[in-house]
């Protein structure tokens, strides 16, 4: 006999358990999400339903994404709708993915969208790794210099202080400022460490704080340009896929606008999309928005005349992809130059701070 379904409301303990698990799973690795998208795309291409696909994931070996798939399945068993269960994990399931996954007639479109999103995540990861590799060597040198300065502070500075005390004078202003700064660091090292741990924990667990930090970074000169171009790139690429899959024009625009990230530009794109009701409105409203360059407007104009808007948006996505690559290349060159100059100034300051007393006691008058 089939076991009757338990319609009792879930216990508070079970809800609390789900909440705690989700709290510490809000910052999944991008690589895990991209791999999950590709696996789910394969299942969608084989006409496997979403819940069947999640059951396959739950039956397999455990990984970081297993908690997400189990959490969705448990919520559905508790009586929560599939849409609401997916919405509990916005890092993995944005609005366009939810809409496409819940539309049972568009499994092929869902597969294409998931593969495209996985490609974008991997490209974003490559950009982050490139920037991280650029900053790795300067960071190592900076830490090494800090260690050397601390050793000099504890071994050399006390000798200088004793010599200048016997001479009846104080340390030079530059050295005295350096000593005061190091004294402050060593005296508050515990509070500094606690503050850094708290900040790291907040950034790790709070999606609102991370979104606000990204919004601030998106307003910086070079990083802002990269963020804006990546937002337009994502919008253009997803819209091209949806239009080529014969999704209705208004739905394709809305899904594409919901898929883009970036609080500043994504809001502007949504406002534009809300004003577009027919294909005839497209060019005029986009031109008034001043978000897209004139060269892209010409591509869209040709695509509209030839009734191939999907190809026009694909070409525009390729255009912005090249722009993002060139912007990242310039950013890497700037970071390398800036870190070299910064480290040079830092080394010069430390050398002067540590050896200026030696020069003065030797009778070498470098500074008045």
pLDDT of residue 362: 61
In a domain, 320, yes or no: yes
pLDDT of residue 169: 65
Average pLDDT value for residue range 233-261:
80
pLDDT tens column, 217-229: 667 777 777 878 8
In a domain, 105, yes or no: no
Report the distance separating Cα 239 and Cα 75, nearest Å.
31
In a domain, 109, yes or no: no
Average pLDDT value for residue range 333-339:
84
Q: With contact defined as beta carbons under 8 Å apart, do 147 and 141 qualify?
A: no
pLDDT tens column, 268-296: 777 777 777 766 677 777 777 777 777 77
Burial class (CB in 10 A: 0-12, 13-18, 19+), 262: buried
The reply to whether 171 and 284 lie within a common domain is: yes
Task: Give the percent of the chain with pLDDT over 70.
Answer: 78
The reply to whether 153 and 53 lie within a common domain is: no
CB neighbours of 19 closer than 8 A, spacing ≥ 6?
none
pLDDT tens column, 117-176: 888 888 888 887 887 787 787 778 778 877 777 777 677 777 766 776 676 666 777 777
Q: With contact defined as beta carbons under 8 Å apart, do 249 and 280 qualify?
A: no
The reply to whether 179 and 300 lie within a common domain is: yes
The reply to whether 156 and 282 lie within a common domain is: yes
The reply to whether 291 and 172 lie within a common domain is: yes
In a domain, 45, yes or no: yes
Q: With contact defined as beta carbons under 8 Å apart, do 93 and 86 qualify?
A: yes
pLDDT of residue 167: 66
Q: Spell 26-44 as b/e; 16+ CB within 10 A means b.
A: eebeeebbbbbbbbbbebb
Report the distance separating Cα 11 and Cα 111, nearest Å.
36
pLDDT of residue 139: 78
Report the distance separating Cα 235 and Cα 18, nearest Å.
33
Number of domain units in the chain: 2
Higher pLDDT, 36 or 366: 36
Q: From its phi and psi, is residue 246 left (phi > 0), alpha (psi between -120 and 50) or beta?
A: left
Domain enclosing residue 75, as ranges: 12-93
Q: Which of 93, 112, 137 is the last residue of a domain?
A: 93
Q: Which of 58, 93, 128 is the last residue of a domain?
A: 93
Q: Which of 93, 109, 134 is the last residue of a domain?
A: 93
Instruction: Give the side-chain half-sphere CA count within 13 A for 121.
Output: 20
pLDDT score of 308 more than 50: yes
pLDDT tens column, 188-243: 878 888 988 888 777 766 666 766 766 676 677 777 778 788 888 888 888 888 88
Lookup result for tokens 């006409």: 47
The reply to whether 77 and 160 lie within a common domain is: no
Report the distance separating Cα 230 and Cα 124, nearest Å.
9
In a domain, 173, yes or no: yes
* 253 C-beta neighbours (distance < 10 Å), count: 23
Lookup result for tokens 């979403």: 50
pLDDT score of 10 more than 70: no
* 252 C-beta neighbours (distance < 10 Å), count: 25
In a domain, 103, yes or no: no
The reply to whether 205 and 253 lie within a common domain is: yes
The full DSSP string for 12-45 is HHHHHHHHHHHHTTSS--HHHHHHHHHHHHHHHH
> With bands split at pLDDT 50, 70 and 90, how would you rate the model's confidence at 260?
confident
The reply to whether 137 and 278 lie within a common domain is: yes
Average pLDDT value for residue range 297-318:
81
The reply to whether 268 and 143 lie within a common domain is: yes
pLDDT of residue 283: 74
pLDDT score of 184 more than 50: yes
Nearest to 328, CA basis, from 227, 184, 185, 208: 227
pLDDT score of 343 more than 70: yes
Report the distance separating Cα 135 and Cα 185, nearest Å.
24
The reply to whether 135 and 18 lie within a common domain is: no
In a domain, 99, yes or no: no
pLDDT score of 58 more than 70: yes
pLDDT tens column, 17-31: 554 455 445 557 788
Higher pLDDT, 187 or 27: 187
Lowest mean pLDDT among 169-178, 260-269, 300-309: 260-269
The reply to whether 74 and 167 lie within a common domain is: no
* 254 C-beta neighbours (distance < 10 Å), count: 20
pLDDT of residue 25: 52
pLDDT of residue 341: 87
In a domain, 232, yes or no: yes
Nearest to 116, CA basis, from 322, 314, 303, 308: 314
pLDDT score of 9 more than 50: no
The reply to whether 183 and 304 lie within a common domain is: yes
> With bands split at pLDDT 50, 70 and 90, how would you rate the model's confidence at 364?
very low
């Amino acid at each position: 006999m089939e076991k009757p379904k338990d319609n009792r409301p879930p216990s508070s303990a079970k809800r609390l358990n789900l909440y705690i698990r989700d709290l510490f799973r809000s910052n999944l690795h991008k690589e895990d999400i991209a791999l999950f998208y590709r696996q789910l795309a394969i299942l969608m291409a084989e006409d496997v339903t979403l819940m069947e696909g999640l059951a396959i994931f739950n039956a397999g070996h455990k990984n970081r994404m297993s908690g997400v798939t189990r959490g969705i399945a448990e919520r559905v068993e508790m009586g929560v709708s599939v849409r609401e269960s997916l919405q509990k994990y916005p890092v993995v399931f944005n609005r366009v993915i939810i809409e496409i996954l819940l539309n049972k007639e568009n499994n092929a479109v869902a597969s294409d969208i998931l593969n495209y999103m996985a490609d974008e995540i991997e490209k974003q990861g490559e950009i982050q790794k490139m920037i991280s590799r650029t900053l790795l060597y300067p960071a190592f040198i900076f830490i090494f210099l800090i260690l050397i300065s601390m050793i000099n502070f504890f071994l050399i500075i006390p000798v200088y202080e004793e010599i200048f005390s016997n001479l009846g004078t104080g340390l030079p202003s530059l050295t005295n400022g350096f000593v005061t700064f190091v004294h402050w660091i060593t005296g508050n090292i515990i509070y500094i460490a606690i503050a850094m741990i708290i900040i790291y924990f907040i950034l790790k667990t709070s999606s609102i704080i991370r979104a606000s930090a990204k919004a601030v970074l998106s307003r910086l000169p070079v990083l802002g340009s990269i963020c804006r171009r990546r937002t337009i790139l994502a919008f253009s690429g997803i819209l091209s896929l949806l239009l080529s899959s014969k999704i209705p024009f208004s739905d394709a625009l809305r899904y594409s606008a919901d898929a883009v990230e970036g609080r500043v530009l994504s809001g502007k794109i949504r406002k534009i999309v809300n004003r577009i009701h027919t294909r005839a409105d497209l060019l005029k409203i986009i031109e008034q928005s001043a978000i897209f360059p004139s060269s892209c407007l010409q591509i869209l104009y040709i695509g509209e005349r030839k009734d191939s808007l999907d190809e026009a948006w694909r070409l525009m996505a390729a255009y912005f992809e090249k722009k993002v690559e060139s912007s990242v290349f310039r950013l890497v060159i700037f970071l390398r130059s800036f870190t070299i100059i910064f480290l040079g100034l830092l080394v010069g300051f430390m050398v002067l701070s540590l050896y200026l007393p030696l020069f003065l006691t030797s009778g070498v008058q470098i500074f008045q």
